[in-house]
Amino acid sequence: MTGASGTVHWVGAGLSTGSGLARLCESAARVRLWHRTEDRAAHALAARGLTGRAEPRAYTPDALSAELAPGDVVVSMLPAPEHAGLLAACVARRAHFACSSYVSDAVLEQVPAARAAGLVVLTEAGLDPGIDHLFAHSLVARAREAVGDGTAATYRLTSYCGGVPADPNDFRYRFSWAPLGVLNALRSPARYIDNGAETTTDRPWEATRRHTIEGEAFEAYPNRDSLPFVEQYELPAAWKPSTFVRGTLRLDGWLRAWDGVFAELRRGDDERIAALAQELADRYPTTEKDRDRVVLEVSLDVRGAGGVSWSGGYLLDMVGDEEESAMARCVSRPLALGVRHILDGSLPPGLSRAAQSAARSEQWLRELVPEGVEFTLRVSR
């Protein structure tokens, strides 16, 4: 293990950079915020009350590499395609790496070299992915204890997360992360299990269904590839899924409000979709008066032979305030927690996710509550 130096490089100050940055200013020996220009980095620090507590820097890959020292930690808040390049710089300079995004093939290819250098590569340590994994691991562990690994059973696991306006608008949405990323996610096929069968949809929004949480109606659709998480969540082989889906939550009426957007997605090329993303961002800007809302619900229902059953679910429902958006808090606080675990040497070299096991998930959930990330758990049999 390459010991942590105590210096953290936070790269990017976009919509998801919240109070997690401030928490690292309390625990790290030195924090540098890298942004497009030094003035923008300084302005971002001032807006968060961190002037003098972190050092502003103008980001370029070469400038960052020049300041990296062995044992430093690089936190990437850049778009996911840029993570691999940052990780390569980290490996070359013997620095640890952390982000909140899914593990890409380009990142995976570099994990052996990072491990050999004694470096931590922390991924999927935000909201979704991140807290959703923690919830799922905890529920599966509780169900396994109640039902038994060897008991034949069927189960239904759903994990839905969404950032929505706290005060609904006609568009039924406000962008809480990059608009182009939102649109491109809708263009990516989704694979999941429905009625016991593997199902794939090329246009995820066409699989949108009504979903009720605490009596409130939402719309939910599958995204990405849910199937690898059956193994990652350590569901017993004796249990067979009737439903297994990880997806996105939207306000009721979203499908109808976005009908024109979907028409563009069906026929548009990359250039047109990029232009559409900018048009939508301009048409539906998020102002300082707007408040966002994050809703994350993970539920597991198991029905075993002989009438044995177990049901449980986690719910996180948070509204942003004047200090930060709910999305920024739910992404940056878990990520900062993971970085602190790199700093204290408790994460092993190589690839780590926020949730590698049920035990670690329970630990992180306990630690997130005093961080201002609150949630509820319900269990029934």
Three-state SS for 228?
Answer: helix
Instruction: Kindly give the pairing relationship between strand 292-304 and strand 309-319.
Output: antiparallel
Under 8 Å between Cβ of 54 and 76? no
| DSSP secondary structure code for residue 346 in this structure | -
- Containing 34, the helix (H) or strand (E) segment is strand 30-35
The structure tokens listed for 153 are 């059973």
What end-to-end distance do the CA atoms of the chain give, in Å? 44
The structure tokens listed for 13 are 């100050």
Query: Do you know the residue count of the chain?
Result: 381
C-alpha separations of 149 from 61, 141, 191 in Å: 48, 10, 26
39, 62, 72, 128: the active-site residue: 128
Under 8 Å between Cβ of 35 and 44? yes
Please give the radius of gyration of the chain, using alpha carbons only, rounded to the nearest integer.
Answer: 21
Give catalytic status of residue 292 as yes or no.
no
| DSSP secondary structure code for residue 327 in this structure | H
Under 8 Å between Cβ of 157 and 231? no
The structure tokens listed for 295 are 């809703």
Question: Which residues are known catalytic residues?
Answer: 128
